[in-house]
Amino acid sequence: MNGVVQSVRELVDAIGQSLTSAPLWLQAPLVMIVVIPLCGVLALAWLRIVDVSGAMGLRVFHALSAKVGTSIKNPGRENPAAGHEPEDSPIEKSS
């Protein structure tokens, strides 16, 4: 296993050495063509990880709040819009 790690390290070092010694006119297109799409794919993967972990955390939070018996959206109130009628509704005035 140590030989595999050493050979991968040597390969990465060789690529890094050749890229840093390359002229700027070659480095710039490589960054545009390779690194930017690679970072975009990694950003999408990271966003997916954050979304899934957030959904799992919210599911756990809902389960725990159901055990306690409180509502997460409106704590202490069953239906805040029940019985609330707007006094001056612009829709009713135009009729």
* Percent of residues, the chain, with pLDDT higher than 90: 45
State the average pLDDT over residues 37-43.
Answer: 95
Q: Which residues contact 71 (CB under 8 A, 6 or more apart)?
A: 65, 77, 78
User: Per-residue pLDDT for 64 more than 80?
Assistant: yes
**How do residues 12-39 score in pLDDT, each as one tens digit?**
999 889 888 999 999 899 889 988 999 9
> What count of Cα atoms within 13 Å lies in the side-chain half-sphere of residue 95?
4
19 vs 86 pLDDT, higher one: 19
48 vs 4 pLDDT, higher one: 48
**Domain chopping of the chain, boundaries:** 2-68
Work out the mean pLDDT of the chain and round it to a whole number.
Answer: 81
pTM of the model: 0.50
CA distances from 13 to 8, 18, 26, 83 (A): 9, 9, 18, 70
Structure tokens at 16: 């890094």
